[in-house]
Amino acid sequence: MKKCIFSFSLLIIIASSLISGCQEAVTTNEEEKTTLTLWYWTRSLDDNVIQQIKEEFPHITIDAQKIGGDEYKTKVHTSLIADRGPDIVALNDWASQYLSYQDRFVNLMDYGAEEIRKEYLDWKWNTVLDPDTGALIALPIDTGPTALYYRTDLFEEAGLPSDPAEVSAQLQTWDEYIDAAKQMKETTGVKMFDNLERVFNQYVEQQPDKFFTEDEEYIGNEGTVREAWEIASQINQLDLTARVVEGQERNAALNNGDVASFVGAVWESNILKDSAPDTAGEWRVARAPGGDGNNGGSFIGVLNSSDHKEDAVEVIKWLVSSENQLNHYLGVDLFPSAIDTLEADELAEQDPFYGNQIVTEIFSEAAQNVPITYYGEHYHAFRTMYHEELAVMERGGKDTEQAWEDVQKQAERELSRRTTNGGEEDE
């Protein structure tokens, strides 16, 4: 009897050991999983694509944290200063601002980025490539190519062409666009332009030179910026804008037929549909007068503070692959930066709001002709200065030359402050 008791006890010990071993194996397998934290904002990536990461990378668990509103950029900025944050971070069109923080990012060129470079639009890729060090701080997600949105009924009433190809052919330059605006005003009383800010932005975006050189030398007092200011001033003096503020006022003007056209990014298409539903079928899209530009588009990078850099880089490469860029477009309308995706059949759909025009053809062509440019660290802050003075000039009646002098004085003060503070970053 004692022998049986001993044998039974032995079996219990052996069984316990086996169970313990199984538990240890499970724990070990779980410990082998890598957890990567991803910061992004609503519609910056398709949530369904993010969910597929666990299938593509079984050893990786993604902690995807969606951060909303103005809080996002502030949180990213704070994490870069502290050199502590997520493994993977999405960056909006202000990504070039953080080239001066490139030591906080993984240089993707050290992780095989050069091998996939040709898959993407060169101007988009170069936006976050440091010209001095050659460091690449992020990979491209989407783009915001611009084109001319216009009302066919108003163009016809004014005696202007309404077919997209004919509009593109007749309005190739800014001078031709302004002449058409004068004709529109004289024959219909409708203004061709919405506001000076958009006029200024589009001209600047069409040019390779903007506010700063690659050496961060300020050139906003001449060249492209001065030309953009002159065009905006001419349009203002001719009273060719509806003088509407961005937002509800502008939306109402578009819906009421107070604005005949505007140059805008591809992502503005859905905004137009929502803001001007009564005009469905009347709008078309043509190539922008003066050339192609871009407004918006995001990126995704890996922070140097990550303990899992190689895994994180592989994940972001997969997230922005041409296949997934198509998924991002179909899911949340992110217009591609991958060249193959721009040519995908799935993009070529007729749109009833635009009279069944395939508007993506216009934007795809525009995206492939945006000039390579240098934005630099302070692009957005300095552009805002000009916007503010243009608004006072357009809606407050400020003298053009006085506004120009005032914005240059403000730029000088800001440059002096940044020099004194050792290159303080924009918030």
Question: What is the bridge-based pairing of β-strands 139-140 and 299-302?
Answer: antiparallel
Q: How would you classify the pairing of strands 34-40 and 88-91?
A: parallel
313 pLDDT higher than 90:
yes
Average pLDDT rounded to a whole number, residues 218-227: 97
- Which of the four pLDDT bands, split at 50, 70 and 90, describes residue 7? very low
Amino acid at 171: L
CA distance 404 to 409: 9
Q: What local confidence, expressed as pLDDT, does residue 32 receive? A: 80
- For residues 370-389, average pLDDT: 95
Share of the chain above pLDDT 70, in %: 91
What secondary structure does DSSP assign to 408-419, as a single string? Answer: HHHHHHHHHHHH
Res. 268 pLDDT band, cuts 50 70 90? very high
Min mean pLDDT across 25-34, 176-185, 310-319 is at 25-34
pLDDT-wise least confident of 26-30, 126-130, 242-246: 26-30
Report which of residues 418 and 172 the model is more confident about: 172
pLDDT at 10: 36
Look at residue 228 and tell me whether its pLDDT is greater than 50: yes
pLDDT tens by residue, 51-93: 999 999 999 999 999 998 889 999 999 999 999 999 999 999 9
In the three-class reduction of DSSP (H, G, I as helix; E, B as strand; rest coil), residue 231 is classed as: helix
* Residue 44, pLDDT score: 97
The CATH architecture of the domain made up of 146-293+365-420 is: 3-Layer(aba) Sandwich (3.40)
Mean pLDDT within 174-192: 98
SS3 call for 259: strand
Provide the pLDDT for residue 423.
53
Give the pLDDT band of residue 323 (cuts 50, 70, 90): very high
pLDDT at 421: 72
Residue 335 has pLDDT above 90, yes or no: yes
pLDDT surpassing 70 at residue 20:
no
CATH of domain 33-143+296-347: 3.40.190.10
Pair 242, 253: CB distance under 8 Å: yes
Distance between CA atoms of 425 and 231, rounded to whole angstroms?
A: 30
Rounded Cα–Cα distance for residues 186 and 325 (Å):
45
Average of per-residue pLDDT across 322-346? 98
Q: Are strands 88-91 and 299-302 parallel, antiparallel or unpaired?
A: antiparallel
| Phi/psi at 89 (5° precision) | -135, 130
Mean pLDDT, the chain, whole residue set: 92
Q: What average pLDDT does this structure show over 287-309?
A: 98
Domain with CATH 3.40.190.10 in the chain: 33-143+296-347, 146-293+365-420
Instruction: Express each pLDDT in 86-115 by its tens digit.
Output: 999 999 999 999 999 999 999 999 999 999
- The mean pLDDT value for 2-21 works out to 37
Instruction: Name the H helices within 142-267.
Output: 152-157, 164-170, 174-188, 196-205, 223-237, 248-256
Over 60: is that where the pLDDT of 242 sits? yes
